[in-house]
Every structure is written in structure tokens, then in C-alpha cells.
Amino acid sequence: MDAIKGRRILSGIQPSGILHIGNYFGAIRQHIQLQKDNECYYFVANYHAMTSSTDAEKLREHSMMVAIDYLALGFDPEEAVLFMQSDVPEVAELAWMLSTLTPMGLLERGHSYKDKVAKGIPANHGLFAYPVLMAADILIYDAELVPVGKDQKQHLEMTRDIAEKFNLAYGETLVIPEELILPEVAVVPGVDGQKMSKSYDNTIEMFTSKKALKKKVMSIVTDSTPLEEPKDPDNSVIVDIYKLFATKEEVEEMRQKFLAGGYGYGHGKKELFERIYEYFEPHRQRREELEQNMDYVEGVLRKGAEKARAKATEVMDRARDNVGLLRFL
């Protein structure tokens, strides 16, 4: 992480619901770490969220919640840029340009599209063309690096393919981004053992109430091994999540308790709950302060949008000229 300096980095997060610890350890924590030594652009992907929701009020609410969460977790508006995707409408124009060169076959091979349709999400054009808009999100800011998890590599590969086709057709216009797969990125298990995801309804939220957090942690699925018998810590969701919050020595201590017997899953869940609550407590207090100062939050987003749109305008002017669009305004 320390070796990554002086690069332009771009990432976005969908406002599809309340953020959870999987979002934090899988992306947000790394975003916060990268902001100090790099030129970072982070956006709330509210255009993308429209592919799976038509509730306007929830979209507005969740979009602001993401912004508040980022600020509460350590985003520094003096170091990086935070903005709403929809505050840069040029991204939709670039997406159209890119779509005229994007092969249907490329989109048909998209893993994410297939997975979401298999889960019952309606197969609309926005969902199908999602990779094109994502490519525009990246390319419109001349992003050099894009942090991705291993399961998101295909989307960035598609972005690179689309950008290369564009440059081949119209000359060197778009910066070809590189993937940034961080070793620190964690695939966080949900309470059912699958990858933590809002679509699986298995998440543990960062900023829920103490009572609700405890209830969620205590709902972690375990086997029926009796209290007094030894348990396998290497196949335990409790231990896997605990690793994110504890030192190696503390994790080993929990492992030994499970192996020794006389230590039940309920005991482990209680320790995990306390550790999660303590970890996010300072951020929870900061979040409460931000909720009482929405003028500040909106000011951060406004300034972020101005910076982002200035960069996007620069790239779009280059793209419009190279594709041959006449401009009289």
C-alpha cells in the first residue's frame, strides 16, 4: 500500500442499501488509506443503482447515507474528491460514445449480468449495459488505477477492451487503466457463511443500533456441536470475521478456546459483537455529528462535483473533438 503514490485512482460504491462491514473491509478502508498519497476520485454510483431499484426516495436517502458513512470513516475532502455520479452528466454522454464500439458479445459474457438475472433481477438494458457505464466512470477521469476485488476483475478487463477499441478508432483519446488488486482486500463472510452481500440479506451493518448489531451477530449460522466438545476454528464464520478486528494473538486465543471445548459458539459471538461495536464506536459518534451538520456534507459533495466535472469536461472535450462531433456552444 505504501508503494502506491502519486497515481490517479477511481472507485465508486452503489447506494443500494445500508453499508456493512463487508463494504468497509472490502473497499472503503482501502479507499481511505489511498487518499493521502494519491489523487483519488470516489463517487456514489446513483446511476448504477437505478438498474435494480425504482424507489426514488430510497435512492436519495441511501445516496446521502453513503456520503455520510465515507466521511465518518475517515474520508478527507482536503485530500480526495467525493461526489455523486449524477452530478457529472457527461459520464452518460461518454457511455453512449463507448456503446457504439462495444461488441454485444462482450456484454453477453458479463458474469455480473448473468448472476443478477439468475437471482431474479429483471434483465433490463441498464443492467445489460452496466459495464459500458462503468467504463465511462473510469475513463472520463483519466483514471490510472482502479481498486477491484478478484471477483470484479472482469469489469475492468471490459473497460480496458472498450477503451482500446475507442483509441484504435479515434486515436489516443482515453487513458487505459490498470487494476489495483490490494492484498488487504478481504472477502468478508456473511452471517450465513456466504460472501457478505445485501442481495443475500446476510450483512452486518456498521452503524446499526447496539441492540440490532448484537441480534445480527448472534444470528451467525453454526453447527450443533455441544458446548463442552471441541469445535473447528478453521471452518468458523465467527473466527473468520473476528480476524478482521483482532490481533493475531487474540485470534489464536479464540482458536484455542474453541479447540479446548467448554467454549460455545454463543461465547464467541459475544466476543465478536463487542469487538465490532468497539471498533466502529468512534466512527459512529462522528456519523451522528455529521447527521446534525448536513450543510457540511452537502458542501463536500458540491465541491467534489465541481472538481470531478472539471476533469470530466477536459476529457470529454478531447473525446468530442476526436470523434468528430461539431460543437457550437
Cite the active site residues.
116, 195, 198
DSSP reduced 3-state for 41: strand
Cβ neighbours of residue 126 under 8 Å, at least 6 residues apart? 50, 51, 133
The x, y and z cell numbers of residue 277, run together, are 461495536
Q: Which amino acid is at 294?
A: M
Residue 178 DSSP code: E
CA distances from 199 to 23, 110, 169, 190, 195 (A): 13, 18, 39, 11, 10
Q: Where are the alpha helices (DSSP H) in 261-293?
A: 265-291
DSSP one-letter string for 299-323: HHHHHHHHHHHHHHHHHHHHHHHHH
Distance CA 277, CA 250 (A): 17
Short-list 17, 10, 12, 27, CA closest to 65: 17
* Exposure of 277 in the CB half-sphere (CA atoms within 13 A): 16
DSSP state of 85: G
